[in-house]
Structures are given as structure tokens and as C-alpha cells.
Structure 1
Amino acid sequence: METPGLVVHGEAEPFSTALRSLVNNRLYSDVRFVVGQERQEVFAHRCLLACRCNFFQRLLGPEPSPGVPSPVVLSTVPAEAFLAVLEFLYTNTVKLHRHSVPASVPPFPLPLMGSVRTLPHTHSVLEKNMHQSKEKYRYLCICLEFVVKVLDVELVCEALQVAVTFGLGPLQERCIAFIEAHSQEALRTRGFLELSASALLPLLRSDKLCVDEADLILAARSWARVGAAVLERPVAEVAAPIVRELRLALLAPAELSALEEQNRREPLIPVEQIVEAWKCHAMRRGNAARGASCRRRRGTLPRDHHRFLDLPFK
């Protein structure tokens, strides 16, 4: 019986360091990328990319083109995110930076494919593009762990949008919990105004938002105005998927009257929803059929009529 050979493992760190020195190194490179809107030139090595990732196998083809090859243009990919992906492919590790992570979070190698807001891909892409079973989730997990550690008011809404777009449940939960604790600040960010309706809905359904309903209604109107300008659609049409989650019955009568007047000038909320809120005031109780619309949030400021509502904050 043949004696099995002895496998000798060298030190991992010097090996990783040597390969890292080849990232974006013109030396021995045989493929060139032009990346991002700034058209940054990035050098790489065909054999290494192809053996690590099926995406590059398909992109680069089995044989190099004769003569001087034309660069591969990836104009929609942020250069910093692309270099992070290359570093992981070359070394199996990656050094992440706060502002590059949102573009790197989606399933590998989605950063190569365009904006995270518009990609139709799902986690199945990860399955198809990484050879090693242990590696196909590692890059994603690294990015998600990093995002959770660096979450702040400016980053959280962008991270929430990524989580909703790609079905990253744990990240979505962490982002929502962060926004619940820092609601006032988060609602003032550009990231909040750029949320999709599907990302905004779970926020508006939360009882734990630390914000008063009057301020939340103002934020929802600002969000709808931005969406209306981008989509060239009426404000009320853009707001339709989310306004039912606004709890108008929490407003005092004077506030509700002011909202009704503003709504005449700039329609945002269906008239019947405002009528329902007035019914709560007239009947001096919450509408049991639509109990959530009368339930106070964590940040709801007290009004005299709140004692008549059926459902206090839980």
C-alpha cells in the first residue's frame, strides 16, 4: 500500500502579502480595466481572476486577444469597491473602508455589475460565481459585519436600501433598530429621501420610532416631493404606497386642520384617510378596525385627546 505523501503548509501571511502586491500592479498584468466615472485604470491578471470567479471567466474569455488588448470598461462600478473585490480575489482577505462598503455589500460580484439600487440580481448570483463553497459567502459576511460596525446616521438609510433590495434580513433589522433609536437625525439625511417605498414602509409601521407624528408626516412629504421630481409624477401618486402608515389620529385637532389645508394645496394624503382621523376625534375613541392608526409611537408627543384613544403605545 502506497504511503500517503506529507502535506507541508507554508505561512499564510507572507503568501497573502505577496499576492496583495499584485493587486492593481502593472507588472506581469495581462488585462486592464477602466473603472468608475473617473475612468480609473486598474491592472489585473487574467489567470487569477478566471480561476477565482466564473464572472471573470465569462467576461474575459478563454484566450487573450492578439496584440494589445482593449481595456474592459466598467463605468458604473465605483473604483474603490472594484479594488476591494480584487483584493479579496487575490488574497482571500479584504480591507474595507466606510464609504466603499455599500457598493460592496451585495452578493459577490455584484459590485461589478452596476448600481446597487438597480440590480435585479439575488443571492443566487453568489452561488454561481464563486468556486469554493466556503468562499462564496465569506466576502458577503465580511462586508455585512463591517457595515453593522460602522452604522451611523449618514450611512444607515443607504445600508437599509441595500438590505431591502437584496433581501438581507439581519442587516435590515439592524438598520431599522438604529433608525428607531436615531429617528430625528435619520429623517433629515439624503439617504432617507432616496429610500424606495418598500424600504420606507417597515419604518412607518414601527411603533418604536423616536419621532412625533407631525414630524414624520413632514418627512414623508419631503420624501414624496423628491420622488415626484425624480419620477416626474404627482406627489400624491408617489406617496400612495406609504401614506396609509401615517397615524393622523395622533394629531391634535388644530394640527389636523392645518394638515387638511395643506393637503388641499398639495395633495399628499387621501381625503378619506383624513376623514377617518376626524372620526376618532368626534367619537373620542380610536377606530378599532384601524387600530394601528391610533397607536402612539415611542416618540409621539402627548396631546389631550390621546387619553381617548383605544390603543396606547406598547
Structure 2
Amino acid sequence: MSNSHPLRPYTAVGEIDHVHILSDHVGVLMNGEEYSDVTFIVEKKRFPAHRVILAARCQYFRALLYGGMRESQPEAEIPLQDTTAEAFTMLLKYIYTGRATLRDEKEEVLLDFLSLAHKYGFPELEDSTSEYLCTILNIQNVCMTYDVASLYLLPKLTCMCCMFMDRNAQEVLSSEGFLSLSKPALLSIVLRDSFAAPEKDIFQALMNWCKHNPKENHAEIMQAVRLPLMSLTELLNVVRPSGLLSPDAILDAIKVRSESRDMDLNYRGMLIPGENIATMKYGAQVVKGELKAALLDGDTQNYDLDHGFSRHPIDDDCRSGIEIKLGQPSIINHIRILLWDRDSRSYSYYIEVSMDELDWIRVIDHSKYLCRSWQKLYFPARVCRMEEKTP
């Protein structure tokens, strides 16, 4: 005859772990009037609590309840203005039980909950909530999530928001959340080179933000627009009628655009760390070179004299080469190439990058070296659309 027992098994010989029972018993006290000696008022709702439990779990409440208030006071009501009842309910549950359920809550409540975890000094709760928010980012919530993450200096959540916004820049610009960004968060987003939306779209989104936030310094916001990246038609028919930028600023942009090298313009580009963007997956294509698909299929193991590699003729003027057009302007600082190594030949080469196929910048020059096999090449990060390797 068996007898089931509700207790969990020992974690080790001579060790008893009934923490779950302790959590359940203390959790019963939450929101109960019995034994409570302090009440919080949040959005006109009353939350009875126990000073000793709050003080044991949180330095903030320890200072609040036993520092600035008389310990002998039998009952106290404390209004809290910086939170919602839903978020405070979640916090009390965590304080009393060590548990919190995030998956069924709205993003606004989760961000309020994250704010409380930060304010009241629960770093583990702050980290766990941040990790969960990383998994539910979408166009509707990414802006307000980024605002909170950057305010509280949460590096992982901030980074995930940035990556999401970079890959969905145009959708983010047209979202309602973009209009509600704080000025510091707004500027930190649009000033990044990797926020790669057309400059006209960025200008119009910032113009809408200025209308939505009339008390802010609009001149400072408009400085984030890279006017030289806009066409003459856009400058005259979109920027000028808005009245947000002076005629001199528009003329200066036209002057910069007409007098600068194309590759000296401050372009924006997609940033996809750690991935090969010269593939068909990302829309790349071989403009010059034979067996074009082989270069973009990602297979660097199976090649011989007949297949598995791209090649090009070597002309007397050394202007032939393999030219790749990326799917979109991209920020790159690293190229790996595999030179033919099925025999003893060596090669000299250089690599140039361009945005328009007219103005080329040389980023690697191995024209005076004899090279073989894998080449792992690093150079200062640049925005480009075209790459060319020339022998």
C-alpha cells in the first residue's frame, strides 16, 4: 500500500528543501488584511501589506518603512503615483512568492512592471523581465520598449530593440509608437547609420513627430536628417514647404551633394552582424563573373576545375574582376574570400566598394602580395552596395 507525500524529495542526503512551501505560506498573506500594518494606495485601490516582509525583500521599502516613518506607528497609508495597479499587483506577488507571470500581460503593464523592478532594486527580476520582452518585440511595442530600456540602461534589451528597428525601419517610422518616443530615444534611433530607411521617409516621420510634440525643440530634431542624401526634387518639394529647415540649410545640402564624392556622403546601410550578406538569401547577385550562382550559394567545400566557383578573365589592363551587387546598401567591415587553391598558383588582388558603381573606394590592396587560399580581410566599416575583386 503506497502513501503519496506532497513534499518534494531531498536535494541531497541530509538536506531538506521546502522553499516552495515557504513561498506558498507567505504568499497567502498577500492582499490580506490579517496581520497587515501598512496599506499602499495605487489608482484608488488599496493594497494591504506587511512591513517586515517588504523590508526583508527590498532595500527601498526598508528605508521607506523603517527609515522615514515611525516604526511604532500601527497603521499607515502610502500613496504611490508612479505605477499602475496591475503592475503593483505583479510586484507584490513577486515580493511575497518569488513568482511572476508575464505571458498574459499587456506590454504597457510589463513595462510598468520593469520600471518598478528597476526603481525598487530587484536586478534579477529586471533581467528576467527584459529577457521576456526581447521575445515579444513587434512593430507596435518596440518603440516604447526601447524608450524604457534606454532610460534604465538595460544593454541587452536596448540592443535587441535596435536590431529589430534596423531590420524594420520603414514600418517603425510609420508606427504610432514612433510618435510617442522621448526626444533622447528618438535621436538615438535616427542618428544611427544602421537605421537604414530612405531619408525622405525619415524626414516625414520626424516632421510628424514634431507635430505630435509641439513643445520640443524642432530645430534640434531636424538636425538628425541627412539632407545631402535626398534628391533635389525631395529637397524642394518635400523639405522646403515644411518650413522646418531654413533655405540656407537646404542650399548647403545641395552644395554638399553636388561637390562631394559619392562615397564621402554619410549613407545609411543595413547592419546584419555575423552573417554573410553576399548571398541570394539577402538578394545579392553577381554582376561580373562566370558561374554566378556558385559564388552566392554558401558552399565553400565542393569545387573543382569544372564547378563550384566563380571566375573571371584576367585582362592586360587588370580592370576585369568579380563584381557583386548586394541586395541593399549595407554596412560591412569584413570580407572572406577563397582563392583557387587546387594547384600551386598564387594571386594578387585588390577590393573596392561603391554605392553607385561609378565612385569606387579601395578598402583592400594586396596587389603587391602573393596570396593563396582563404583571405580574411578587415577594414574600417563602410556603407556600400557594390563590391569588386580585381586581380
Which TM-score band (shorter chain)? 0.7 to 0.9
Matched, 1:224 2:203: no
Contact in 1 for aligned 2:197/2:268 (Cα 8 Å): no
Match of 1:23 among 24, 30, 39: 30
Matched, 1:249 2:228: yes
Counterpart position of 1:104: 113
Alpha carbons 1:24, 1:43 under 8 Å: kept? yes
Aligned partner letter, 1:103 = D
Deviation, 1:92, is 2.1
Q: Greater RCO between the two (CA within 8 Å, min separation 6)?
A: 1
Aligned to 2:73: 65
Q: How far apart in 1 are the matches of 2:233 and 2:28? A: 67
Deviation of the 1:282 alpha carbon:
3.3
Q: Where do residues 74-89 of structure 1 align in structure 2 (5 Å cutoff)? A: 74-89=80-95
Gaps of 5+ in 2: 1-12, 271-327, 330-354, 361-381, 386-391
Distance in 1, Cα, partners of 2:262 & 2:203? 19
Which AA in structure 1 matches 2:21? P
Residues 297 and 246 (structure 1), Cα distance of their counterparts in 2 relative to 1, 3 Å cut: farther
- Farther-moved stretch of structure 1 (55-64 vs 143-152): 55-64
Residue type of the partner of 2:200? A
Give the Cα separation in 2 of the matches to 1:189 and 1:275: 31
Deviations 1:29-51 (A, max 9, x none): 22211113xx1111211211112
Q: Identity over the aligned pairs, expressed in percent?
A: 26
Pairing partner for 1:275 from 229, 251, 256: 251
Look up the SS of the partner of 2:48 in the other structure: strand
Cα displacement (A) at 1:140: 1.2
* Aligned equivalent of 1:9: 16
State the secondary structure of the residue aligned to 1:43: strand
- Cα 1:32–1:71, aligned 2, differ >3 Å: closer, same or farther? same
Q: Which residue of 1 aligns with 2:297?
A: none
Indicate the residue corresponding to 1:179 in structure 2: 165
1:213 Cα deviation after fit: 1.6
Q: Secondary structure in 1 aligned to 2:200? A: helix
Query: Contact 1:183–1:210 (CA<8 Å) still a contact in 2?
Result: yes
Question: Structure 1, residues 159-181: CA drift from partner, whole Å, max 9, x if none?
Answer: 11112212222221111111112
The normalised TM-score by structure 2 is: 0.60
Q: CA deviation at 1:8?
A: 4.1
Distance 2:18 2:236 in 1: 73
Deviation at 1:90, TM superposition (A): 1.3
C-alpha distance in structure 2 between counterparts of 1:109 and 1:147, whole Å: 15
Q: Determine if contact 1:250/1:306 at 8 Å carries over to the other structure.
A: no
Say whether the 8 Å CA contact 2:199–2:230 is kept in structure 1.
yes
After TM superposition, give the deviation of residue 281 of structure 1 in Å: 4.3
- In structure 1, the gaps of 5 or more residues are 1-5, 113-125, 127-135
- Per-residue deviation, residues 204-231 of structure 1 (Å, max 9, x unmatched): 1333335322111100111122222xx2
The amino acid that maps onto 1:42 is F
CA distance in 1, matches of 2:99, 2:59: 19
Partner residue in 2 for 1:44: 49
Shift of 1:272: 3.8
* CA shift for structure 1 position 156: 0.9
Q: Cα distance, 1:28 vs. partner? A: 2.9
**1:204 aligned to 2:190?**
yes
Q: 1:309 to 1:107 in 2, by over 3 A?
A: farther
CA contact (8 A) 2:38 2:51 kept: yes
- Tell me if structure 1 keeps the 8 A contact 2:196–2:268: no
Q: Is contact 2:87–2:112 with CA below 8 Å preserved after alignment?
A: yes
Q: Counterpart of 2:136? A: 150
- Is the partner of 1:105 in helix, strand or coil? helix
RMSD between aligned residues: 2.9
- Bigger radius of gyration: 2
- How many equivalent pairs are there? 264
The whole-number CA distance in structure 2 between the counterparts of 1:34 and 1:21 is 20
1:296–1:313 Cα contact (<8 Å) kept: no
Shift of 1:259: 2.7
Structure with greater proportional helix content: 1
Poorly superposed stretches of 4+, deviation over 6 Å:
307-311
Q: Which of 107, 115, 125 is the equivalent residue of 1:139?
A: 125
Per-residue deviation at 1:107? 6.9
CA shift, 1:27, in A, is 3.3
Q: Identify the range of structure 1 (148-157 vs 244-253) with the bigger mean alpha-carbon deviation.
A: 244-253
Q: How far apart in 1 are the matches of 2:95 and 2:144? A: 26
Structure 2 CA distance for partners of 1:246 and 1:297, relative to 1, 3 Å: farther
Question: 1:229-244 maps to which residues of 2 (within 5 A)?
Answer: 231=215, 238-244=217-223
Using the TM superposition, give the Cα deviation of residue 10 of structure 1 relative to its aligned residue in structure 2, in angstroms. Answer: 3.2
1:57-100 per-residue CA deviation (whole Å, 9 max, x = no partner) reads 2322352424xx34211133211221222122112222223432
